[in-house]
Structure 1
């Protein structure tokens, strides 16, 4: 039977799970709210796609550079930044007056999510060793995966019984609890000396993904002959190619 975790390790694991949970939860909970968002704010299929994709693009494009930020500025500090930004953007999304405002807020929320996931995992690897580390990562993975399962259920209940806006306010409670636990932890932050952030890599990856996805989403309504479509596709392909060359 595994040994009981010390208090600090239990606290770190709880913080890491809660921080990652809200990030993964918001990636899935929004899908069931899309019809209600359309009825309330308007917008067609492209708007609904962007409500989902704006979050996923910034999350996926910046998750690597966010890991570097954790090394440079400290895992706890970056985790706190991500939690605060995620909470602010969640409130902004819940109060969104227009589809455009909602999409921008979702993109910023993806930035916050990118700060949360690698910082959470880095906090675990810095705290646990050997078999205890493998066990902690397994618990963290199982808990965050659970967010993908319960997300549509929570979203569906919120939309049917109350409002789609409540779907995004659900995050505020676990974010507040996590920030409180970080204050209780009272652990000195850890930084990796000599590490730097690949800013150009992050810019190229974000432009590459964003340009190509924009072209694919808007092409049915604007057509491939539109400069906005072929121009964004060309910028996306060129940027992503530049990203691959730079990383090689």
Structure 2
């Protein structure tokens, strides 16, 4: 469990973007997202430029477009909400295909769709080019409170263990001929969740005591303390700088 962990969204392509330090990629995506959020929803050329910029970054990072589109469907609930806004919105209305649509609702729907999609695509590119361990290391280098990074580190290390415990408990339940499928059988599921929580809590206590006895002081040692050189910061800064230029020109 001490080895590095990858997540399902990571693509090991070995490109130039992959080799950048995690903290510079996190900052680049964060600043790009801020520029996108602050862009007025009626600045349509700016959003077109942002999409072109994200597409160019995906090409440089060697992340397939189909891979991005499949995983971007996570925002589908928000897209459905955006579709409903023109119908239920108030204010000035326009007629389109026999439907009365709110102008403010149309602007709101476009705002949610455009900014949400750009944010999801940027986050997916960050996840595709950075392992989960490097993401946590980058957050730690950016001075994110240690309590958050340490909790996330432990969660990452023991998530597979907890999933395996839940799988074994389910197999044990099925081997005894009990497979709850209906609402009135939810008691078995609730008991299983409670048992898994207690076992996880007890394991966490044992692990913490073992770590303290070995000198743990609240921060895990980092095997690689390489700081990002100025060149990597400059390379990563091209994303927010170009997006800012697009916003200003648009």
TM-score when normalising by structure 2? 0.30
More helix by share: 1
Which protein has the larger Cα radius of gyration, Structure 1 or Structure 2? 2
